[in-house]
A and B are shown apart, each in its own frame.
Chain A
């Protein structure tokens, strides 16, 4: 299908920079997630690609062509809006046919394409209904069919699943992925839901204050966050500050942790005496009721236990800090609050992040 590229995009509203120098290339056929808190710039970027926002600086390129001066209706994009924006005065079939009709396609072609599009989103038989007669999930499918039937170069989704309840959302996530793979269209979507970004995307980019903090495959970004923000936004993390005491062979470093105890981990850059911040994901920690503290193992006391069905969350006081730990419920029973425990982890799971 198509590649989309954004180079050095800047967009300011009054003194606030919604986009502060964003560069990104979206590969042909990939499902790319723009993730970040409200106001971080992700929606502004999406709308700049669509053409609703004119950049103060920088370019948007579709298939290598600068589309800066090209109006929205000439960009050949497909877009699904947060509240679907279906035409309330038209039927489902008319909604889906709209894009083809304004391009002047012959009627028989239009009818057939509409039929195929609705079949693809599994909504055959609802052609004559009006949008207000449909459920949220059905409206969303219509919006998707409408956007795809014109075979656009790129598909843009603005928080597409935000209005759906949990079960429906999970169901639609699967559907969305299936359809995207079937059509093979370059898709860029915006979400503030990190779980959704992780499940849907081939690659993601994390936004903060108008900039991309980190981008890459979901697993890579999750396991190897670069900044504290990235680590904290995608899932949960324990942050362990410390000081490098020694550098060992193989790129390993010994770090004296502020909470007490010592960690041995790989550091991207390290000097003796340097203060570092280490991120450790809660699911990577092992909990033992007995055991010895040591390197990559610290002693603590259980504060709080929350049972959540397939896992249990423990809050453990370690030194001055409270650490969080997830444990899959393989065995019966949980460790009671007040118990002294030892937390341990593998050096591979410690990630140095910039604060």
Chain B
């Protein structure tokens, strides 16, 4: 079995290389002086300087971050409430509701994005940042519910009862016992929602009017026009931001504050 295990482990490392090498290469070329991606490699920050002057990209970046933050607040609030309901109560239709969380994840975003485009047009919501926000929250909700829900599943219910027997009113129990224990899960869900929104391309693509876009949509447009290392630079920044948010999520999701 040793040989088999060694082969499997080697395969895993190869898969990891497959997953990361392109990203690393892309990042590296963002620091290469040549505008044509020519080797040998010459370290230069010229493309990042170009970025700083690219107002279109910077505006798109601000939109992306802004939407992501608002999306995080809304999706985390709504998602946590729903997760609480699922964890605390057993009711008819609960399974149906839980199944309904699948479409945003499983149905191709192409279909969802275009459907939103059609529907919003009919109810007179113009394409724009508000429409994009609507879409992002819808996509973030299932993930928040799952992350917070997982945290709630390991939540020891008896401690709330213990707090009541010790004389804590429901509000005191929530403030001093429930909330601190829930916090890691909620923060994990919030970071996840941020990453989902910040990275979201398809929905933003269809709901963005000309001139007002998010970062991924801008990048897509730039790619269609031709490859420049400036794209590498902004892509590197994006991926660092979202991976950072997701790493933090992992910390809060798995390890929690105290357990």
Interface membership of B202, Cβ < 8 A: no
The segment from B74-82, B166-174, B220-228 that touches chain A is: B166-174
A102–B167 CB distance below 8 A = yes
Interface centre among B167, B177, B180, B259 (most CB of A within 10 A): B167
Partner of B162, one of A79, A103, A150: A79
Interface membership of A72, Cβ < 8 A: yes
Interface membership of B257, Cβ < 8 A: yes
**In the docked arrangement, what's the CA distance between A143 and B181, Å?**
18
Nearest CB on B from A24, distance (A):
20
**In the docked arrangement, what's the CA distance between A244 and B165, Å?**
54
**In the docked arrangement, what's the CA distance between A4 and B156, Å?**
29
Interface membership of B163, Cβ < 8 A: yes
| With known contacts A52-B161, A85-B156, A130-B258, A102–B181 Cβ distance under 8 A | no
B168–A73 CB distance below 8 A = yes
B164–A73 CB distance below 8 A = yes
Partner of A85, one of B159, B180, B258: B159
Contacts of B158 in A (CB 8 A): 81-83, 85
Interface membership of A147, Cβ < 8 A: yes
B181–A72 CB distance below 8 A = no
**In the docked arrangement, what's the CA distance between A89 and B161, Å?**
16
Q: For residues 160 through 219 of chain A, which have their beta carbon under 8 Å from a beta carbon of chain B? A: none
**In the docked arrangement, what's the CA distance between A89 and B259, Å?**
8
Interface centre among B158, B170, B257 (most CB of A within 10 A): B158
Interface flags for A19-55 (1: CB within 8 Å of B; 0: not) read 0000000000000000000000000000000111000
**In the docked arrangement, what's the CA distance between A223 and B173, Å?**
46
A102–B156 CB distance below 8 A = no
> Considering only CB atoms, which chain B residue lies closest to A82 in the complex?
B158
B165–A102 CB distance below 8 A = no
B167–A81 CB distance below 8 A = no
> Considering only CB atoms, which chain A residue lies closest to B165 in the complex?
A79
B163–A77 CB distance below 8 A = no
**In the docked arrangement, what's the CA distance between A278 and B173, Å?**
54
A87–B159 CB distance below 8 A = yes
Nearest CB on A from B62, distance (A):
37
Interface membership of B176, Cβ < 8 A: yes
Interface membership of A122, Cβ < 8 A: no
Nearest CB on B from A88, distance (A):
6
**In the docked arrangement, what's the CA distance between A40 and B258, Å?**
37
Interface membership of A281, Cβ < 8 A: no
A89–B258 CB distance below 8 A = yes
**In the docked arrangement, what's the CA distance between A330 and B20, Å?**
78
**In the docked arrangement, what's the CA distance between A52 and B161, Å?**
8
Partner of B176, one of A75, A102, A147: A102
A102–B180 CB distance below 8 A = no
Nearest CB on A from B163, distance (A):
7
Contacts of A229 in B (CB 8 A): none
Q: For residues 107 through 163 of chain A, which have their beta carbon under 8 Å from a beta carbon of chain B? A: 130, 132, 143, 146-147, 150, 156
Interface flags for A61-105 (1: CB within 8 Å of B; 0: not) read 000000000011111111101110111110000000011001100
In the assembled complex, 30 residue pairs joining A and B whose CB atoms fall closer than 8 Å, in A order, are A50-B165, A51-B164, A52-B164, A72-B164, A73-B167, A73-B169, A73-B172, A73-B173, A74-B167, A75-B165, A77-B165, A78-B165, A81-B158, A81-B162, A85-B156, A85-B159, A85-B161, A85-B162, A86-B159, A87-B177, A89-B180, A99-B166, A102-B167, A102-B168, A102-B169, A103-B167, A132-B258, A132-B259, A146-B166, A150-B166
Q: Which residues of B contact A (CB under 8 A)?
A: 156, 158-159, 161-170, 172-173, 176-177, 180-181, 257-259
Q: Which residues of A contact B (CB under 8 A)?
A: 50-52, 71-79, 81-83, 85-89, 98-99, 102-103, 130, 132, 143, 146-147, 150, 156
